[in-house]
Amino acid sequence: MAHAAMKHQPHRVTVACTVLLLSLLLAGAAAAADAACMPGAGQDVDAPGQAVSVQPGAQPAPPAQPSLSAQSALAPGAPVRLGMSASFTGPGASLGRAFHRGAASCLAQVNAEGGVHGRRVEIVALDDGYDPERTVWNVIRLIEDERVFALFGLVGTPTVTRVLPLIGAHPDRAVPLLFPFTGARPLYLPRHAGLVFRLRAPYDREFSALVERLRGAGCARIAVFYQADAYGREGWADLRDALACHCLALTAEASYPRGAGSEADFSEQAGLILEGRPDAVVCVGTDAACATFIRDLRDLSASLPPGPAIPVAMPSFVDSRHLLGLLADLGHAARRDYTKDLVMVEVVPPWDGNLPAAVDFRRDMTRLAKAGYAPPAPLASAEGAASTAGIPDEVSFEGYLAARLVVRALERMGQDPDPAGLPAALAGLDGCDLGVGLPYRHTPAMQGLGLVRFTTVRGGAVVELSDFAELRR
């Protein structure tokens, strides 16, 4: 059926094939570079003040063909529509859903108060299941059919890097990408300047800060468990580079295929890691994969002679609250506690404090819940997502701050916003405080908040980790 449908979409197929070829060439170049240094290796949701459409990804319908000038201009009073392709089902479901809900809570309140210069700001969201090929089709649909003002909040390194060629080289128009949920290196390439805009710190900064803190706590032998794709390879490389700054090397490594989750058995990988006698392990994976690996690592460690606890650390792509829930379920089944000696990297300030944005965030999330917001039925069965839906966390707070920054930029652009005006509008916000106690930066040298902090689990709750020495007992 897919081939039959494609016969009637010559323009769409040409665009898709071009984009897929470009992205595969870029991915191949990245893989070759990695290999040189690696050993062997639809339903609408309506709530007051909100217009959000979330649909499963699908082969797009034939595109409209307005003039190039009309593609950028908004009709008087038309809403500003942001296109989001994210993992609402599959391994990264908790991330896509939380980011989306946080952004939706911000925009719901803005729209209830009259919008921005009288225009509503809306999200059109498509599920890609953390599948890069589906992300390509979704982005084509968002650009050509949905005519979105900008792309927003795409989730994941393998998905985002696959569509970067389309963002800057679409045959009809360039569409900016706002605040993706990834800190991958390709986002920082000069060719994406003026097209990709960031809020979170880059992954290399996360790994550098993490290694520095682990090293300060006496952890010199560090191993890595990573997802075998662009995300995992980036984490592997950033961790290796951070260790090299301390004249250290990886003591052991193991990988797993993208998509593996709670049903996987990572005992073999855990055994390979433990052979390296690590002082700490860094997991570069999704929530479910990290939780399952932690279980298998702890179970295998328990069968060995007693020794110091091995901290397990994870970058900010892991949803700490969802991870805690998964580990609690695994621990209940095994009658063990798998939540000890964990380190999670966070790239937004605490959402549960007294920062003005945090207070607004909790208020708006509560209002959205009271308004009856609920995910559409096709997304309700996402693994583990139902248990955390609507609960504030760092991921939903990042979505909230990203939406708040979009609103601030639109306010600066006046009555007739145009995507071409986004670079100037965001540059004009350099130094402003979104209500988090530190400035948003938009300079040639830096974009975003630039924050890296750490949390752990204590007493069944995610709390701030200020002293890594407590991990070395």
Per-residue DSSP letters for 174-226?
Answer: ---EE--B---GGGGSGGGTTTEE--SPPHHHHHHHHHHHHHHTT---EEEEE
Tell me the two tokens of residue 124: 């059109």
Checking if the pLDDT of 306 tops 90, the result is no
Confidence of residue 170 (pLDDT cuts 50, 70, 90): low
Q: Phi/psi zone of residue 40: left (φ > 0), alpha (ψ -120 to 50 degrees), beta?
A: left
* Distance from C-alpha of 6 to C-alpha of 84, rounded to nearest angstrom: 23
- For residue 85, give Cα distances in angstroms to 82, 141, 217, 337, 444: 10, 10, 40, 36, 27
| pLDDT (tens digit per residue) in 275-292 | 999 999 999 999 999 999
pLDDT of residue 6: 40
Checking if the pLDDT of 89 tops 60, the result is yes
Checking if the pLDDT of 246 tops 90, the result is yes
Residue bearing the bigger pLDDT, 43 or 407 = 407
Checking if the pLDDT of 25 tops 60, the result is no
Cβ atoms 184, 231 nearer than 8 A = yes
**CB-based contacts of 239, cutoff 8 Å, min separation 6:** 207, 211, 222, 224, 250, 282, 284
Checking if the pLDDT of 111 tops 50, the result is yes
pLDDT of residue 189: 87
pLDDT of residue 43: 33
pLDDT of residue 39: 37
Residue bearing the bigger pLDDT, 117 or 261 = 117
Checking if the pLDDT of 376 tops 90, the result is no
The amino acid at 279: D
Q: What is the mean pLDDT of residues 36-62?
A: 39
Cβ atoms 441, 447 nearer than 8 A = yes
Mean pLDDT of the chain: 83
Closest CA to 317 of 247, 226, 443: 226
Q: What is the mean pLDDT of residues 213-217?
A: 94
pLDDT of residue 12: 54
Cβ atoms 71, 64 nearer than 8 A = no
Residue bearing the bigger pLDDT, 4 or 454 = 454
pLDDT of residue 3: 39
Lowest mean pLDDT among 22-36, 151-165, 195-209, 351-365: 22-36
Q: Phi/psi zone of residue 206: left (φ > 0), alpha (ψ -120 to 50 degrees), beta?
A: alpha
Angle at 273 between CA 267 and CA 274, to 5 degrees: 90
Tell me the two tokens of residue 156: 């994941």
pLDDT of residue 471: 76
% of the chain beyond a pLDDT of 70: 79
Question: Exposed e or buried b for every residue in 49-79, given b needs 16+ CB within 10 A?
Answer: bbbbbbbbbeebeebeeeeeeebbebeeeeb
Confidence of residue 70 (pLDDT cuts 50, 70, 90): very low
The amino acid at 428: G
Checking if the pLDDT of 104 tops 90, the result is yes
Q: Report CA torsion sign: 420, 421, 426, 428.
A: positive
Range 36-39 contact pairs with CB under 8 angstroms and sequence separation of 24 or more: 37/237, 37/240, 38/233, 38/236
What are the backbone angles phi and psi of residue 421, rounded to the nearest 5°? -90, 0
pLDDT of residue 307: 73
pLDDT of residue 262: 78
The amino acid at 439: P
Lowest mean pLDDT among 315-324, 331-340, 386-395: 386-395
Checking if the pLDDT of 21 tops 80, the result is no
Angle at 222 between CA 221 and CA 226, to 5 degrees: 155
Q: In what order do the strands lie in the sheet with 342-346?
A: 252-256, 222-227, 280-284, 312-314, 342-346, 453-458, 461-464
Confidence of residue 90 (pLDDT cuts 50, 70, 90): confident
**Whose structure tokens read 């050993």?**
39
Residue bearing the bigger pLDDT, 154 or 21 = 154
* Distance from C-alpha of 157 to C-alpha of 202, rounded to nearest angstrom: 11
pTM of the entire structure? 0.84
Confidence of residue 378 (pLDDT cuts 50, 70, 90): very low
Closest CA to 409 of 430, 386, 380: 430
The amino acid at 138: N
**CB-based contacts of 224, cutoff 8 Å, min separation 6:** 235, 236, 239, 250, 252, 253, 254, 281, 282, 283, 284
* Distance from C-alpha of 121 to C-alpha of 149, rounded to nearest angstrom: 10
Tell me the two tokens of residue 365: 């999330």
Instruction: DSSP for 311-333, please give it.
Output: -EEE-TTS-HHHHHHHHHHHHHH
SS3 440: coil
Confidence of residue 369 (pLDDT cuts 50, 70, 90): confident
Checking if the pLDDT of 405 tops 90, the result is yes
| pLDDT (tens digit per residue) in 416-472 | 999 999 999 999 999 999 999 999 999 988 999 999 999 999 988 899 998 888 876
